[in-house]
């Protein structure tokens, strides 16, 4: 049983740090044998949530088989679904896959309606598929929530959406309303488009946590920390999670040359968690979310314009996933009662992020690049605190000394690092 208290999620009355992997295309692209191997591996790393699109992911890689949620009619590039006739074989297989998720002691986070199925949204304007008619929503949402609620999922009402018109908002309002009728005890949020910082006002009191995505736009990476930090300053007290930071080895969006490294993913993830989004974090690997098989077609140039993914077998073993599992380990062990952002600027650099426990007894600092730090702004010194540094590329930790009363010495970290400072009684 999941619930929220303050800025954290709890499972069976214990703090639950949401560590998700992104596998949007699971139901359409993955064989059951592949699914078992994937779940075995992610569970062994410490992941506890899998994010899945219930319907076909519009920019997925081409699957090696065809099994779709509804009957389909193709006309050149356009295709139409008959939403009145759910494919029972598809949904029975999805149930089996969700059962396997639960058998691995993981939680499915299911997207009810991705933005390409909704008129007026940014994706709805360029989607190849037909949109849902408004009066088709109730039957669809009732059907899937009744089928899947026994797996105790988390629901994203939307996927990668914006809210440009009342029509689009009304669609999601209907989806939310129907889902809550059929599965009232689940946790609900919205998965929104990259760098979007807000929801329509009527949804804030209904969601259990705020989900945002700092995404894959190179110029927008600072939203990893700016969105949750600003929300906290405005008084938002519920859990916040960055459910789509940059994926490891995905290219910069809009056809810009370059790919995000494990270090980039660490920076986005730690910056989120220390800036108000401390309830969890999502990881993504370019090749897993779309479930890419070498030689198959991929994606939409008209969408975000991403370069080709790695084969899923390679993407599954990207080392960055272990870095984010290490983040979970540190936060869960040292900040069981949550992390709160600290509004302080160190070295006049906004990318150095600072958080603390609720009692301001333990501080945690993310350093994107190594440097020495004066911590007098935190009220800390060599007489009232001691420090430890975590080398994030090596996943090791070491004591860290003061050079003088308030200046921490520079560690030997050659990449990004975490410094944890403990106040002494």
d(CA 19, CA 311): 23
> What is the phi/psi pair of residue 384, to 5°?
-115, 10
> What is the phi/psi pair of residue 193, to 5°?
-70, 165
The pLDDT assigned to 304 comes to 65
Residue 389 host element (H or E) = strand 385-391
pLDDT over 70 (residue 303): no
pLDDT over 80 (residue 124): yes
In this prediction, residue 302 has a pLDDT band, given cuts at 50, 70 and 90, of: very low
d(CA 153, CA 185): 10
pLDDT over 80 (residue 179): yes
Copy the structure tokens of residue 131. Answer: 């949109």
d(CA 359, CA 344): 16
* Strand boundaries in 83-218, DSSP class E: 107-114, 154-159, 188-189, 210-212
> Residue 108: left if φ>0, alpha if ψ -120 to 50, beta else—which one?
beta
Under 8 Å CB-to-CB from 320, ≥6 apart: which residues? Answer: 248, 261, 262, 265, 266, 283, 285
pLDDT tens for each residue of 18-53: 999 999 999 999 999 999 999 999 999 999 999 999
Place of tokens 């692209």: 29
pLDDT tens for each residue of 238-256: 999 999 999 999 999 888 8
DSSP label at residue 36: H
Copy the structure tokens of residue 211. Answer: 């989900």
d(CA 18, CA 100): 19
Four-way CATH pick for 342-423: 2.30.29, 1.10.30, 1.10.287, 2.60.40: 2.60.40
- Note the helical H segments in 25-107: 26-29, 32-45, 88-103
DSSP annotation string for 250-276: PEETTTEEEE--HHHHHHHHHHHHTTT
- The strand pairing partners of 264, in sequence order, are none
If one counts every other C-beta atom within 10 angstroms of the C-beta of residue 344, the result is: 15
Query: By C-alpha distance, which of 252, 236, 225, 324 is closest to 22?
Result: 324
pLDDT over 80 (residue 226): yes
Taking residues 167-174, report their average pLDDT.
Answer: 99
Sequence spans of domains, the chain: 2-334, 342-423
pLDDT tens for each residue of 328-371: 999 999 999 999 999 999 999 999 999 999 999 999 999 999 99
pLDDT over 90 (residue 300): no
Under 8 Å CB-to-CB from 100, ≥6 apart: which residues? Answer: 32, 35, 36, 39
CATH 3.30.420.130 for domain 2-334, yes or no, is no
Under 8 Å CB-to-CB from 73, ≥6 apart: which residues? Answer: 79, 80, 82
Taking residues 90-110, report their average pLDDT.
Answer: 99
């Amino acid at each position: 049983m999941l619930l929220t208290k303050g800025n954290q999620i709890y499972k069976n009355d214990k703090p639950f740090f949401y560590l998700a992997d992104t596998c949007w295309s699971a139901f359409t692209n993955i064989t059951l044998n592949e699914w078992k191997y994937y779940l075995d591996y992610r569970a062994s790393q410490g992941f506890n949530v899998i994010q899945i699109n219930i319907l076909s992911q519009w920019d997925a890689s081409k699957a090696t088989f065809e099994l779709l949620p509804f009957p389909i009619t193709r006309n050149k590039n356009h295709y139409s679904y008959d939403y009145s006739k759910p494919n029972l074989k598809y949904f029975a297989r999805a149930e089996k896959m969700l059962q396997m998720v639960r058998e691995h002691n993981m939680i499915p986070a299911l997207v009810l309606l991705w933005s390409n199925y909704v008129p007026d949204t940014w994706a709805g304007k360029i989607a190849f598929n037909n949109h849902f008619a408004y009066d088709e929503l109730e039957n669809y949402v009732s059907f899937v929530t009744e089928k899947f609620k026994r797996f105790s999922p988390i629901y994203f009402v939307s996927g990668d959406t914006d809210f440009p018109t009342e029509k689009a908002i009304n669609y999601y309002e209907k989806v939310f309303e129907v889902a809550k009728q059929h599965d009232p005890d689940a946790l609900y949020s919205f998965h929104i488009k990259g760098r979007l910082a807000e929801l329509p006002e009527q949804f804030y009191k209904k969601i259990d946590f705020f989900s945002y995505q700092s995404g894959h736009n190179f110029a927008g990476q600072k939203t990893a920390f700016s969105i949750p930090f600003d929300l906290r300053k405005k008084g938002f007290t519920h859990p916040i999670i960055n459910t789509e930071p940059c994926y490891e080895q995905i290219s910069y969006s809009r056809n810009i040359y370059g790919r995000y490294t494990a270090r980039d993913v660490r920076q986005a993830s730690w910056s989120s968690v220390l800036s108000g989004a401390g309830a969890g974090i999502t990881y993504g690997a370019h090749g897993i979310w779309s479930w890419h098989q070498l030689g198959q077609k991929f994606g939409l140039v008209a969408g975000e314009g991403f370069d080709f993914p790695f084969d899923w077998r390679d993407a599954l073993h990207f080392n960055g996933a272990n870095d984010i599992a290490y983040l979970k380990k540190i936060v869960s062990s040292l900040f069981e009662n949550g992390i709160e952002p600290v509004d302080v600027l160190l070295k006049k650099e906004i990318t150095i992020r600072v958080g603390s426990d609720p009692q301001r007894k333990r501080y945690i600092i993310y350093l994107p690049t190594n440097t020495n730090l004066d911590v007098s702004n935190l009220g800390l010194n060599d007489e009232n605190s001691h420090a430890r540094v975590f080398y994030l590329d090596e996943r090791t930790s070491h004591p860290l000394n003061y050079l003088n009363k308030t200046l921490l010495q520079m560690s030997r970290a050659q990449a990004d690092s975490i410094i944890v400072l403990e106040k002494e009684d």
